[in-house]
């Protein structure tokens, strides 16, 4: 197994550790969860870069890399609902989209087809990660002991700005999730229309 695929598999392990941190009540568990999620996100960046540079792109990686992303992101959104940090419908939208796309890929695989990720899906993943990290930072903020500062009377790095950014990032993530899912299902419609 090559290094990019090992990094992809490590994301599943980091996801399990992240969920463990999220359900924990130990002091600083939010900060630990943030660190684990960032580490998982870095493996997503590295496995793709290394695979392209070493020309080590495999069918395993093409299938498992986006699956690892979906498991990580879905786990984060579900954990946030459990903590009552976000409304449940947001997690439903994300998980439903990921299940639909995963189902499509499995159907394609049963026909010996490998569906690669598209640019819209990559943008979606980027915004989901930004949104998740933003939410984690907002809730880890008191643990980190950061001191809000002001510039010309406006709060800088204070809770007001961080909450606003996290909320905006969540909305962008949800919109790109729906859009990319619709685009992917439409562009690969020949995979499932044959069976209708």
Task: Profile the chain (196 residues) by mean pLDDT over runs of 10 residues.
Answer: 90 97 90 94 87 84 86 96 94 96 88 80 90 89 51 52 86 96 92 77
pLDDT of residue 145: 44
Give 3-state DSSP helix, strand, coil % of the chain, rounded to 5: 80, 5, 20
Residue 154 phi, psi (nearest 5): -95, 135
CA diameter of the chain: 63
**pLDDT, position 37:** 96
Q: State pTM to two decimals.
A: 0.85
pLDDT score of 147: 47
Domains of the chain: 3-193 (1.20.120)
131 Cβ contact list (under 8 Å, min separation 6): 166, 169, 170, 172, 173
Looking at residue 158, its pLDDT comes to: 53
């Amino acid at each position: 197994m090559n290094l990019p695929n090992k990094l992809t598999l490590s994301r599943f392990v980091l996801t399990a550790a992240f969920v463990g941190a999220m359900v924990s009540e130990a002091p600083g568990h939010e900060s630990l969860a943030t660190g684990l999620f960032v580490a998982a996100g870095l493996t997503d960046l590295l496995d793709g870069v290394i695979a392209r540079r070493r020309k080590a792109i495999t069918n395993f990686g093409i299938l498992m890399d986006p699956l690892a992303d979906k498991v990580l992101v879905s786990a984060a959104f579900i954990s946030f609902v459990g903590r009552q940090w976000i409304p449940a419908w947001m997690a439903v939208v994300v998980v439903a989209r990921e299940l639909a796309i995963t189902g499509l890929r499995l159907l394609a695989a049963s026909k010996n087809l490998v569906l690669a990720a598209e640019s819209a899906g990559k943008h979606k993943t980027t915004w989901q990660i930004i949104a998740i990290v933003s939410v984690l930072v907002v809730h880890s903020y008191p643990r980190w002991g950061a001191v809000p500062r002001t510039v010309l009377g406006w709060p800088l790095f204070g809770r007001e700005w961080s909450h606003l950014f996290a909320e905006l990032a969540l909305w962008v993530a949800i919109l790109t999730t729906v859009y990319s899912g619709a685009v992917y299902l439409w562009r690969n419609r020949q995979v499932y229309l044959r069976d209708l």
